[in-house]
Structure 1
Amino acid sequence: MMVDDLGIGDVGCYGNDTIRTPNIDRLASEGVKLTQHIAAAPLCTPSRAAFMTGRYALRSGMVSMGRVQVLLFLGGSGGLPPTETTFAKRLQQQGYTTGLVGKWHLGVNCKYRGDHCHHPNQHGFSYFYGLPFTLFNDCIPGEGSDVLVDLHHALWNLTLFLGVGLVTMVCVRVCGLLEVRLWLLVALFFLSIIAAAVWYVPFMLLPTWNCIIMRNQEVIEQPMTVETLPQRLLGEAQNFIKRNADHPFLLFFSLAHIHTPLFKTPAFAGKSRHGCYGDNLEEVDWIIGKVTETVDSLGLANNTLMYFTSDHGGHLEDSDSLIGQKGGWNSIYKGGKAMGGWEGGIRVPGIFRWPGRLAAGRVVDEPTSLMDLYPTLKYLAKDTQPDRYLDGYNLMPLLEGKAVRSEHEFMFHYCGIYLNAVRWHPPGSDSIFKVHYFTPNFSPPGAGGCYDTKVCLCHGDHVTHHNPPLLYDLFHDPSESRPLTPDTEPRYAEILEETGKAVEKHKRTLTNEQTPDGSPSQANTDVVQNQMTWEKILWRPWLQPCCGTFPFCGCKEDTTHF
């Protein structure tokens, strides 16, 4: 169960005492809570790619070199490459029935509408119901837009300029003030039509293009009705569990909460102490409770592993004057969504519950990763077949108390395609050192985030490089507020040297993949194409999923049974 944009400080069992999350807290009290659970990226698309594959998103090309850091259009050609392997595909091969309910955001089509090369069904999920894209502000009128707003405005201004120019030229010609050639009027007319189409079709119809619901490879609602989405996703998750209760199954329940726009479900509206955002969090907790109740009522608790997490930290910049804060709280940790390697953007809740196997109330303070789910599920499914190079590790020894140290001696933190920071957990030491090679610039200066761009960027003038790097000890300074120096840390030079060696070793695995023991892997030797280029991100009408005849797309799901 993965929540979208949930801050680690939003949950009761992680220290929040003003938002009610009894069902999530119950999972922690009945299972194992991870306190240093780390996302591989501080943004949806790269984090989810790493989560699904057990590998840094760079290995699958799901990282950005520029300003666009996530997939923006369902009609783009970028997405999780067909050559990649997900944990769902591995378990499907082991006889599990696999399902994904909720958000995907890892692409749909490659070359033409309906090839579904990036679709969940092609990545190991035998059943899919939900959002092939994500929930975003464009899905609700009046909430504004999340997609290339400056380009949107520039195209509108160009259309307006050409339109005014055309009208002016026509008036000048009709009034006989100047001689205006007919070919010039015709050229202006066609330029105005083209500019209007380039502005209107991709941007003004975004709810139709991106805000859709699919069941498997069929578009069943376009645009979607957001108000009923929580009930529908919950119902689908519960029904999947019930349908498959008698045989091995894997369900990835990827919630649309707590990404904006926020829901206004009447049963929860106005009930929390933190406005609409708090209401949504308490609805999330209720949903988690209903899923847990379904598992328990079917007698599945003792042989079912339940896992709760978030794809990355809360979005600090998301707020407005009417609703107030729309993004999460990341507790004592600096930064948030899209802020590189700062802890607030990558440290997330991590809870495992399995009454038949895991001791209740256990807490693990060792570094772990969302990428660890892949090898953990492989181990539990008794999958011993050769695999690609993995960056995650099997968590069961830590969860069961059979190991006290994480296998993650080093962890690498990316900001887009760029290696941003490294953490080192030296053998025999409680310290966890974090080295920042560069950090995103907060704008305006001194603020807690990048408020004029809404998300921080990872390149050029948007970052500050540090020479020497910034160095922190997360064990003694988890909020990353006191940089270490050679005077305050005796191991200062050693830390920089060891992390530098680790970076070089890590880079070698990106170009010449091998298994952790040094033997060749089953890696695809083809060069992985970057999936986040402008060429792959921008909207193409021939790739757009559609119910009906394109471009007249439109349909509604029958929701009377929800």
Structure 2
Amino acid sequence: MKAGPLLAGFMTWQSLKVVMACLAHSWTSSGLLLILHLLLMPPIAKAILVSYKPSIVIFLADDLGIGDVGCYGNDTIRTPSIDRLAKEGVKLTQHISAAPLCSPSRAAFLTGRYPIRSGMDYTDVFRVFQWLGGSGGLPTNETTFAKILQKQGYTTGLIEQPMKVERTAPLMLKEAMSFVERNKEGPFLLFVSFLHVHTSLVTTEKFIGKSKHGLYGDNVEEMDFMIGRILDVLDNNNLTNSTLVYFASDHGGHLEAKERNAQWGGWNGIYKGGKAMAGWEGGIRVPGLFRWMGVLPEQKVIDEPTSLMDVFPTLVNLAGGTVPQDRIIDGRDLMPLLQGLVQHSEHEFMFHYCGILLHAVRWHQKDSGNVWKAHYVTPIFQPKGSGGCYDIRFCPCSGERVEHHSPPLLFDLSRDPSEAVPLSPDTEPLFHMVLKRIEKAVEEHQRTLTPVPQQLSFYNVVWKPWLQPCCGTFPFCDCDKEKEKREHF
């Protein structure tokens, strides 16, 4: 039988009423003391009492722009299931990925550490894995939150749509729903890693032509449908109140992705830049939604800076595990912030890398509420002012197509979130103080970095066909799963 939020030690008004009802027939001095103790207990003390292990469902989109989702301002693409998570949970408006590309961002997400610490970022030429048949990868000495949760008794499952494999979305959905059914006694961790809405845009026939934004919009709406079906399975198995659900994207939308005149990439709302750009907000600001009915507040909006790396310590602590003490963990436990027990994020500085080069730094000045952003390097857009590098599809990290800034470009995101007008000593009295403080933070951060093997070096990323996973035996890799009936669509 599943334990409820009361057994978790979360003393909400609803759970307090349950305690009072239980004591109604035996109203003793000890009962009165219990009620007084619960009412007077400090919020931090309540958080420490958490012992209930929720099941966890993670939805991670690929290349989804923050402006592509209804609850973040889109009024033309239909995302009712994702919007439901915002209505029934907490929406983060400054949720930041640790990198603007898939491989380094996901490595940071799984480990709670900047990708430069694990060697999971490199140069302009090799910044992501091009295929599975490579020898590089997350080093074996790195620890993922899934590995820790397994040790805490969790059944873990990763469901991911492989690149360039058509029409596997129905199979993904079928397996995700089956996983929940098989493990409903919990606790379980289900990580659904979508190919949606990567620029291959593999969409099943049912959704083609259904949106107002071509194949890209169709793909977003298909993903939302899949999320809705999985949420329905949680509802039907009475798991809604005992499951933490998280939705995010690995980085911003790919602005330059086009096929002829059709837009194949996402929209990043008011934020400048996009995929591959580590400095500008459009490449790293992503949707971030948490839902845990009965534990987290509903319809809450948090404007504090948070990171995808925060998921690591958050889940580890909820599972009763211990965050590794033998390495630097850059993420921070989000539960106190999500529950409203604290007002500010623990993040003071965030460092935004493009490959292995530091392009920008964010300073969350908690006493004033300002969020400063200093850009040391920015890409040169083509056409000028377009917000992207449309002539070469991806903006580079270095070379002739970037501009170095001395002094750095400075913005106050709390007043200028779209980074439209750089500040100067004439327009900002704190200009020099802010840059000096950020520079000191950079020096302190860089002292924590140690050399590690580069997992995205040429040798590691070059295709090695004997390492390529396939359904059969190499080189006969045809997958008969493609022929299965798509009963869930």
Q: 31-40 or 437-446, which moves further after superposition?
A: 437-446
Q: 385-394 or 280-289, which moves further after superposition?
A: 385-394
Out of 238, 242, 252, the position equivalent to 1:303 is: 242
What residue in structure 2 maps to residue 42 of structure 1?
100
Distance 1:70 1:385, change over 3 A: closer
Residues 301, 356 of structure 1: 8 Å contact kept = no
What residue in structure 2 maps to residue 559 of structure 1?
484
Between the aligned partners of 1:46 and 1:366, the Cα distance in structure 2 is 23
Distance 1:249 1:549, change over 3 A: closer
Residues 130, 461 of structure 2: 8 Å contact kept = yes
Structural RMSD (CA): 1.4
What residue in structure 2 maps to residue 18 of structure 1?
76
**Any residues of structure 2 matched to 1:343-358 within 5 Å, and which?**
343-358=281-296
What residue in structure 2 maps to residue 60 of structure 1?
118
Residue deviations 1:457-510 (CA, integer Å, cap 9, x gap)? 112222111011000000100000110000111111111111111111111111
Give the secondary structure class of the aligned counterpart of 1:234.
helix
Give the secondary structure class of the aligned counterpart of 1:296.
helix
Give the secondary structure class of the aligned counterpart of 2:409.
strand
Give the secondary structure class of the aligned counterpart of 2:447.
helix
What residue in structure 2 maps to residue 534 of structure 1?
458
Q: Please tell me the residue identity of whatever aligns with 1:400.
A: Q
What residue in structure 2 maps to residue 334 of structure 1?
272
What residue in structure 1 maps to residue 233 of structure 2?
294
Residues 340, 440 of structure 1: 8 Å contact kept = no
Between the aligned partners of 2:386 and 2:69, the Cα distance in structure 1 is 24
Between the aligned partners of 1:378 and 1:412, the Cα distance in structure 2 is 23
What residue in structure 2 maps to residue 117 of structure 1?
none
Q: Please tell me the residue identity of whatever aligns with 1:332.
A: I
**Any residues of structure 2 matched to 1:255-274 within 5 Å, and which?**
255-274=194-213
Q: Please tell me the residue identity of whatever aligns with 1:272.
A: S
Distance 1:537 1:398, change over 3 A: same
The answer for unaligned runs of 5 or more in structure 1 is 103-129, 140-223, 512-526
Distance 1:454 1:382, change over 3 A: same
Distance 1:544 1:274, change over 3 A: closer
Out of 415, 434, 441, the position equivalent to 2:380 is: 441
1:333 Cα offset (Å) = 0.2
Residues 306, 347 of structure 2: 8 Å contact kept = yes
Give the secondary structure class of the aligned counterpart of 1:45.
helix
Distance 1:385 1:417, change over 3 A: closer
Residues 319, 325 of structure 1: 8 Å contact kept = yes
Between the aligned partners of 2:444 and 2:61, the Cα distance in structure 1 is 33
Distance 1:266 1:51, change over 3 A: same
Residues 438, 465 of structure 1: 8 Å contact kept = yes
1:384 Cα offset (Å) = 2.7
Q: Please tell me the residue identity of whatever aligns with 1:509.
A: T
Between the aligned partners of 1:56 and 1:433, the Cα distance in structure 2 is 20
1:22 Cα offset (Å) = 1.2
Residue deviations 1:273-320 (CA, integer Å, cap 9, x gap)? 111211111111111111111111110111110001000000000112
What residue in structure 2 maps to residue 51 of structure 1?
109
What residue in structure 1 maps to residue 467 of structure 2?
543
**Any residues of structure 2 matched to 1:33-432 within 5 Å, and which?**
33-102=91-160, 130-131=161-162, 135=163, 139=164, 224=165, 226-227=166-167, 229-321=168-260, 324-384=262-322, 386-387=324-325, 388-432=327-371
Q: Please tell me the residue identity of whatever aligns with 1:367.
A: P
Between the aligned partners of 2:341 and 2:256, the Cα distance in structure 1 is 41
Between the aligned partners of 1:399 and 1:55, the Cα distance in structure 2 is 21
Distance 1:246 1:319, change over 3 A: same
Distance 1:560 1:272, change over 3 A: closer
Q: Please tell me the residue identity of whatever aligns with 2:110.
A: M
Give the secondary structure class of the aligned counterpart of 2:205.
coil
Q: Percent identity?
A: 60
Between the aligned partners of 1:243 and 1:266, the Cα distance in structure 2 is 29
Residues 64, 416 of structure 1: 8 Å contact kept = yes
Q: Please tell me the residue identity of whatever aligns with 1:424.
A: W
What residue in structure 2 maps to residue 107 of structure 1?
none
**Any residues of structure 2 matched to 1:499-518 within 5 Å, and which?**
499-511=438-450
Residues 35, 349 of structure 1: 8 Å contact kept = yes
Give the secondary structure class of the aligned counterpart of 1:330.
coil
Give the secondary structure class of the aligned counterpart of 1:488.
coil
1:444 Cα offset (Å) = 3.5
Between the aligned partners of 2:184 and 2:430, the Cα distance in structure 1 is 54
Q: Please tell me the residue identity of whatever aligns with 2:439.
A: G
Between the aligned partners of 2:358 and 2:76, the Cα distance in structure 1 is 36
Give the secondary structure class of the aligned counterpart of 2:77.
coil
Out of 374, 398, 401, the position equivalent to 1:459 is: 398
Which structure has more RCO (C-alpha within 8 Å, separation ≥ 6)?
Answer: 1
Between the aligned partners of 2:143 and 2:89, the Cα distance in structure 1 is 29
Distance 1:328 1:385, change over 3 A: closer
Out of 391, 405, 409, the position equivalent to 1:470 is: 409
| Count of residues in Structure 1 that have an aligned counterpart in Structure 2 | 427
Residue deviations 1:232-278 (CA, integer Å, cap 9, x gap)? 11111111111111021101111111002213422222221111211
Between the aligned partners of 1:81 and 1:321, the Cα distance in structure 2 is 40
Give the secondary structure class of the aligned counterpart of 2:370.
coil
Residue deviations 1:91-122 (CA, integer Å, cap 9, x gap)? 111111111001xxxxxxxxxxxxxxxxxxxx
Residue deviations 1:14-41 (CA, integer Å, cap 9, x gap)? 1111111111111101000000000001
Distance 1:474 1:352, change over 3 A: same
